[in-house]
Amino acid sequence: MSLDALLVVAAALFGAGVYGALSQQSFVMIMMGLELMLNATILAVVAFWWGSTGGNPEGQLLAIVVMAVMAIEAAIGFALVTNVYRVRKADITEKLRRLRG
């Protein structure tokens, strides 16, 4: 286990997240892609904290902030999905031409 190995794992997770976020059609699945990218970010941040910053607590703090971002993203995302669904009865991005334009 080394910093390099950790970063490669994080990169793989991030790549999977990018694939998901770009390929999926529904809002919620896109959010899953985003969450996977944030997952990779947490791993990378803690890896740096562990291997490269001499245990600076700000590294941990950053990881917590990323978790908070995840919660915020999820809450706002679901609220938007609910609202959009209520108004337009649609759950797939391609049905919402207006949003894409």
Binding to another protein (CB under 8 A): which residues in 70-99?
70-72, 74-76, 78-83, 85-92, 94-98
- 30 interacts with another protein by CB under 8 A: no
Taking alpha carbons only, the member of 33, 30, 39 closest to residue 11 is: 39
Sign of the dihedral through C-alpha 37, 40, 46, 52? negative
Contact 34, 17 (CB under 8 A): yes
- 100 interacts with another protein by CB under 8 A: no
Q: Write down the least CB distance from residue 69 to another protein, Å.
A: 9
Near another protein in 2-21, by CB under 8 A: 3-20
Total residues in contact with another protein, by rule CB under 8 A: 80
User: What is d(CA 41, CA 46) in angstroms, rounded to the nearest whole number?
Assistant: 9
- 54 interacts with another protein by CB under 8 A: yes
